[in-house]
Structure 1
Amino acid sequence: MSEVVLDQLPVTRLKGVGTQLAMKLARLRIHSVQDLLFHLPIRYLDRTRITPIGALQPNSDVVIEGDIRGCDLAFGRRRSLICRVQDHTGIITLRFFHFSTAQRQNLARGGKLRCFGEVRAGSTGLEMYHPEYQFLDENPAKQPLQQHLTAVYPVAEGVNQQRLRTIIDQALALLSDRSLTEFLEQDNAAPSLGDAIKFLHQPPADAPLDLLASGEHPAQQRLAFEEMLAHQLSLLRLRQAIRQHRAPELKGDDTVLLEFLASLPFPLTNAQQRVSQEIKQDLEKPSPMLRLLQGDVGSGKTVVSAIAALQCVASGRQVALMAPTEILAEQHRNNFTRWLEPLGIQIAWLTGKVKGKARERQLAMIGTGDAQIAIGTHALFQDQVQFHGLGLIIIDEQHRFGVHQRLALRNKGQHGQIPHQLVMTATPIPRTLAMSAYADLDCSIIDELPPGRSPVSTVVISNQRRLEVVERVRNACAQGCQTYWVCTLIEESELLEAEAAEATADALHLLLPELPIGLIHGRLKPAEKAATMSAFKAGEIQLLVATTVIEVGVDVPNASLMVIENPERLGLAQLHQLRGRVGRGQAESYCVLLYSPPLSAAGSQRLAIMRQTHDGFQIAEKDLQLRGPGEVLGTRQTGDVMLHIADLQRDGHLLPEIRRTAEKLLTKSPDRVSAIIRRWLGETDHFSQV
């Protein structure tokens, strides 16, 4: 049976799988026989040997055999059926909270049982709750034990382990040496795809459980390699397809750029100059730039993006700059207006909250080309936004957007051309994530901070010392410094966050009546947020109580103290972003992490890392270890790296070879590429439909 048939053979062709069960299996993303083969165990049970009852230890999964010595109802907080089983070494109680009359009668008749379950310490001594069991006849040798470890699978409602094992056994019976096509050149050290699948569903009794538990067994690594390869191929094919389109060649003269650089109150760092040159060369080419610009907090990415925008404008094309939040988009508008309007460049402003006549005016400016640069939120890629000649798209804080959103703006190009794309992030991306989630992008890194930036001293203090922290704020503000007080909530609710921030602001007003205190959160109107931020920048507000809306883009050089409440609720990358709001001026700066005891082990580890390092890339690597790729990239991006077998942190060492294999396949065996992607991603590979 060929691989295509296994791929197309519906699970309903297997014995015992009807329409109802097929619908339940679909919840596990199982539709075909091949899907069953790739539905791998999460752990294993050892049913290959019998353990004497006298040798049992609590919290172990074991097989026992023994004679039934009694079966009775027990009445306590819950009625239960208890059955006593004895072998020549000891006795154990089987306890059932859910049982039928027939089950009770069968167990009461005596006989010999083989049971499998978890041993627990109970009120009668050692007990098993709801074990699996079978009656043994006079000759137990006719009922042999399992010859291999027993798989435990991810299940869904209505699909229990035994049912899943039965139908997977049928799928394995259809698996032959030729039924799964090998798309990769065989490495003699690595198992074939078919052998790896058989091994992982039915490992022999002596299989190395430590390697299987850690995901490092060669059979698991063989499958992890191909799964990660499928993701890599999907993104590289996307990149290949986009590169086949034409893009405007942006070769405008440097007159305006030189005027802009002369107006800046600071020189560019070497890193900014290097990255600007990389972008300049990309923009001059007739194929679309796809570049990721990484830079730690405060490294000067915005200036680099302005230089790229000027090159585009000087070539007679428009620029779209998109940010994930209004407060960050507003920050960009303020910077670009201050820098570029004196050079005669018009800037349009478009967010979801710009409505009515004001919206019509902004749309008209974009549509006629009167505005050379449009800045806003995701409102920029709505259908009614028509550009006059879009040449460059700049997307800030890329981790807040998915690949599909990154691609939506490219359709705004004209005359069969698509715009260049510059994607920026101040959240350093670990190398393994950059090589996988962003395989379709070239990468530039600003690895140098502007001169004069000093590290922020970070201290971790219990909330029980809150009044000491309040005094610290009073003293700092008395010396002319400004302070952020950041409120965080674990619930993702703008309303609850706003209420928490308001309550904190009220409490601080009572404790610090002499200080001008401001409040900013996501539920304020844009005009109110802008007014508050302006007052804080101007020094009219000394203490700003805020939610995490100030995470990115807020630049107040005089702010030199930040207090973050409940920092244990945030990821490392977000804490690093928040901390980056201080230390932007010449004064020595501090960040106080005000945690609520008791701290979990993971929370304690996160806060210790924040105290030990200011290196954003090191922090990002630790964040990936602690939280996984979905959390690090953000919920909108998780669909882009939906790995079921591979683990980016554990299997990151495979990525260089995966990258080489992917590029070789795209060049020499393009016919295999679609088959590999379809095998692992199926219908989810919508990014390659370009």
Structure 2
Amino acid sequence: MPTARAAEHATRTASVDLQAPLTTLKGVGPAVAERLERLGLRQARDLLFHLPLRFEDRTRLTPLAALRPGQAALFDGRVTHAEVVHRRRRMLVVTLADDRAQILLRFFHFGANQQRRLSPGTRIRAFGEPRGVPGALECVHPEVQTVGNTPPALESHLTPIYPAAEGLSQNLLRRLVAHALPGMQALPDLLPELSRQGLPGLHPALEQLHHPPAQSDTRDAPEPAEPRSPARTRLALEELCAHQLARIQHSRTPRDRRSAPVIRPPGALWQRLRQQLPFKPTGAQERVTAEILADLAQPQPMNRLVQGDVGSGKTLVAVAATLAAVEAGYQVAFMAPTELLARQHGRNLAQWLEPLGVSIAWLGGRQTANERGQLLAELADGQRQVAIGTHALFQEEVRFHRLGLAIIDEQHRFGVHQRMALRDKGNGWMPHQLIMTATPIPRTLAMALYAELASSVIDERPPGRSPVRTALISHERRDEVIERIRAACGAGTQAYWVCPLVEESEQLEAESAEATAERLRAALPELSIGLAHGRMKGRERDAVMEHFRAGGIDLLVATTVIEVGVDVPNASLMIIENAERMGLSQLHQLRGRVGRGNTASACVLLYRPPLGDTARERLEAMRRTNDGFEIAEVDLKLRGPGELLGTRQTGDRSFRVADWARDQDLLDAATRLALQVESDTPRATALIERWLGSATRYATVG
């Protein structure tokens, strides 16, 4: 006879409909559902494969005297002092103490109720990341819980930190995943042969990755036990197998069923633009442009990946393709991952194309209904030749008269379905597609993962741009760095200060930036200091960026929202705090925000000692070279625990579990597995549907 617990589990399992849309769950209205969809989450089933980035250890308390800077921990104590301080902005400052030590807590966002809860004499439990030096630690906006004489029990499992989007809290994501997990028993294990190879089955793997036990050898790891645990290996192999199956199917699809418009204009518009340019295109730009124009002239759809390091001039190549399509009588859709980057492309394209008589429509998220309606009507009847925007371009209401070319910038930041949805807007034919990325893909991986794409590389920098000098400086010399900023801005240039990445919470990341800006304003009162972070309203953040671009701000304190889309030629100095916590590709992207003018530029990587051997080797690679492809290869060799902080949490939906650098060694096994499964049509179809949805045609850009 089954136990009551087993019966309850069976009831919960039966009650979870994995195919149900997330709007059927409590707390998921239309606005939340839209944010979830940005993460590729549409059904309850999707939550099972939305795996944590890392874990927090709330299974043990750390005495205040044992807290270490930069290491998040759970700690408790009694409030000995609390006051509201009025400086440049109002803040609540709380002193928390135990028998041996104390720590300062700062809150920039607080209400009267929270102020009462943190009154002297109250015992609290907090979780956060201390900063400063031992003996003088502080913590900005820790999570706080009031505890009585009988403290609540500690967590029994590590706490997962999921990839998130603005407006989605970790508590909501954890609750939704907890709702879906009992239903995983309804998922068939489509690759039982992996269990025979010593890997866990599907269900144990999912359980372990969402709720790893609190064990001494895992609690400090960003992932359980090692950079790729057996559970993660199991799921990564299944996902790579599904992608390889889709590629096999795609390669056997007759090409003549997928016709594209033949774009072969005389090239008058491109020649007119070249004559007006104040510079000559590089040899690499000329070569890649010729490759693209040759593709556009074919009746088969172009599917070309253009890789170009930061500042290599990819936009000009895209403009050449755009002018060819427009001159041939077709429209172009130009898609960027953020409104900031889309607006920048809009400015650049308007400057180059409008004098040639090309009409541009910018579709953003903050237009009035009348403005948007007018633009949509003009696109639908062909009055507007180029549409520039974010994910707004692939919404159902956006219709084109004769879409011939889709250009997608920073392709890894879009989901597969999002990128390919533009292909459904071709009115009977398949538009050509040009995919661009400034995130260099290691050559070996490009061959394996992008075999169906033609690939071009822009491997020259435009003349006049000097390499950015990179220095590694210990956090202990922070005052020297501040003086360097004073001198640089005093000489008329501008600077960035990038705050540490706190991927689990945009709120904590924002408050980290706010605290840093506050300290820098106190240290550099003569400078105009701006602030930009992900929790600001888009219009407000864009206004700060525009003010910085116009020269009204000397020093911009920012989170990684400036990773792409900011082009300020006068900015010649960048400081990146806690650089050892960021991925090499992200560091390289951030560094690319300086050195865009003719002024000698520098990037300072501030780190907290002591550095491990791997962390030091990674940062030394940044200091040694400005070559993004060399950096990508180094990242591939050295990637380890805690290094998965690059594009994944900012929207990389190319893969849900697999990682294009970490999992290179699994590609051969996944391909062999796909060839074995291919003949079992129902199983192959189910694998593809599980990982890519029903659209196997999307597989070409994995």
Contact 1:228–1:646, Cα closer than 8 Å, also in 2:
no
Structure with larger RCO (C-alpha < 8 A, sep 6+): 2
1:154 aligns with 2:200: yes
Which residue is equivalent to 1:335? 348
1:517 aligns with 2:537: no
Q: Please, which moves more after superposition, 498-507 or 634-643?
A: 634-643
Question: How far does residue 318 in structure 1 lie from its aligned partner after superposition?
Answer: 0.9
Contact 1:25–1:159, Cα closer than 8 Å, also in 2:
no
Helix, strand or coil at the partner of 2:191: helix
Question: How far does residue 233 in structure 1 lie from its aligned partner after superposition?
Answer: 4.5
Whole-Å Cα distance in 2 between the matches of residues 489 and 33 of structure 1?
A: 36
Give the AA of the match of 1:634: R
User: Which of 283, 294, 298 is the aligned partner of 1:285?
Assistant: 298
Question: How far does residue 350 in structure 1 lie from its aligned partner after superposition?
Answer: 1.2
1:360 aligns with 2:368: no
Q: Please, which moves more after superposition, 571-580 or 403-412?
A: 403-412
Q: CA RMSD in A?
A: 4.0
Deviation per CA, 1:278-332, whole angstroms, max 9, x where unpaired? 1001111111111111000000000100111111111111111111111111110
Helix, strand or coil at the partner of 2:548: helix
Question: How far does residue 451 in structure 1 lie from its aligned partner after superposition?
Answer: 1.6
Q: Which runs of 5+ in 1 are unaligned?
A: 1-23, 43-152, 162-213, 215-220, 656-661
Which residue is equivalent to 2:411? 398
Question: How far does residue 493 in structure 1 lie from its aligned partner after superposition?
Answer: 3.0
User: Which of 326, 330, 337 is the aligned partner of 2:339?
Assistant: 326
Helix, strand or coil at the partner of 2:575: strand
Whole-Å Cα distance in 1 between the matches of residues 632 and 464 of structure 2?
A: 24
TM-score (norm 1): 0.64
Deviation per CA, 1:174-205, whole angstroms, max 9, x where unpaired? xxxxxxxxxxxxxxxxxxxxxxxxxxxxxxxx
Contact 2:258–2:430, Cα closer than 8 Å, also in 1:
yes
Aligned positions of 1:528-547 closer than 5 A: 528-547=540-559
Whole-Å Cα distance in 1 between the matches of residues 546 and 206 of structure 2?
A: 60
1:593 aligns with 2:605: yes
1:487 aligns with 2:499: yes
Contact 1:519–1:545, Cα closer than 8 Å, also in 2:
yes
Question: How far does residue 651 in structure 1 lie from its aligned partner after superposition?
Answer: 3.0
Give the AA of the match of 1:551: E
Helix, strand or coil at the partner of 2:588: helix
Which residue is equivalent to 2:665? 651
Q: Which runs of 5+ in 2 are unaligned?
A: 1-179, 208-225, 227-232
Which residue is equivalent to 2:191? 35
Q: Please, which moves more after superposition, 307-316 or 482-491?
A: 482-491
Give the AA of the match of 2:364: T
Whole-Å Cα distance in 1 between the matches of residues 399 and 682 of structure 2?
A: 34
Which residue is equivalent to 1:384? 397
Which residue is equivalent to 2:125? none
Deviation per CA, 1:231-272, whole angstroms, max 9, x where unpaired? 335225336648431111112231111111111111000100
**Closer/same/farther in 2, CA of residues 276 and 237 from structure 1, 3 Å limit:** farther
Question: How far does residue 355 in structure 1 lie from its aligned partner after superposition?
Answer: 3.7
Which residue is equivalent to 1:265? 278
Which residue is equivalent to 2:95? none
Contact 2:312–2:458, Cα closer than 8 Å, also in 1:
yes
Which residue is equivalent to 2:648? 634
**Closer/same/farther in 2, CA of residues 33 and 578 from structure 1, 3 Å limit:** closer
Choose 1 or 2 for highest CA Rg: 1
Contact 1:567–1:595, Cα closer than 8 Å, also in 2:
yes
Q: Please, which moves more after superposition, 382-391 or 419-428?
A: 382-391
TM-score (norm 2): 0.62
How many pairs does the alignment contain? 493
Question: How far does residue 29 in structure 1 lie from its aligned partner after superposition?
Answer: 8.3
Question: How far does residue 497 in structure 1 lie from its aligned partner after superposition?
Answer: 2.4
Contact 1:347–1:372, Cα closer than 8 Å, also in 2:
yes
Whole-Å Cα distance in 1 between the matches of residues 399 and 634 of structure 2?
A: 42
**Closer/same/farther in 2, CA of residues 345 and 647 from structure 1, 3 Å limit:** closer
Whole-Å Cα distance in 1 between the matches of residues 356 and 194 of structure 2?
A: 59
Which residue is equivalent to 1:125? none
Whole-Å Cα distance in 2 between the matches of residues 359 and 274 of structure 1?
A: 38
Deviation per CA, 1:620-657, whole angstroms, max 9, x where unpaired? 122233448986663688775578899965538959xx
**Closer/same/farther in 2, CA of residues 160 and 513 from structure 1, 3 Å limit:** closer
Question: How far does residue 455 in structure 1 lie from its aligned partner after superposition?
Answer: 1.5
Give the AA of the match of 1:545: V
Deviation per CA, 1:588-614, whole angstroms, max 9, x where unpaired? 211011123344554333222211221
Q: Please, which moves more after superposition, 676-685 or 616-625?
A: 676-685
1:371 aligns with 2:373: no
Contact 2:330–2:404, Cα closer than 8 Å, also in 1:
yes
Deviation per CA, 1:89-120, whole angstroms, max 9, x where unpaired? xxxxxxxxxxxxxxxxxxxxxxxxxxxxxxxx
Whole-Å Cα distance in 2 between the matches of residues 278 and 458 of structure 1?
A: 34
Question: How far does residue 378 in structure 1 lie from its aligned partner after superposition?
Answer: 0.5
Contact 2:678–2:684, Cα closer than 8 Å, also in 1:
no
Question: How far does residue 673 in structure 1 lie from its aligned partner after superposition?
Answer: 8.7
User: Which of 623, 647, 665 is the aligned partner of 1:611?
Assistant: 623
Helix, strand or coil at the partner of 2:344: helix
Give the AA of the match of 1:271: A
Whole-Å Cα distance in 2 between the matches of residues 33 and 375 of structure 1?
A: 43
1:550 aligns with 2:562: yes
Give the AA of the match of 1:36: P
Contact 1:295–1:428, Cα closer than 8 Å, also in 2:
yes
Contact 1:428–1:620, Cα closer than 8 Å, also in 2:
yes
1:688 aligns with 2:696: yes
1:575 aligns with 2:587: yes
Which residue is equivalent to 1:203? none
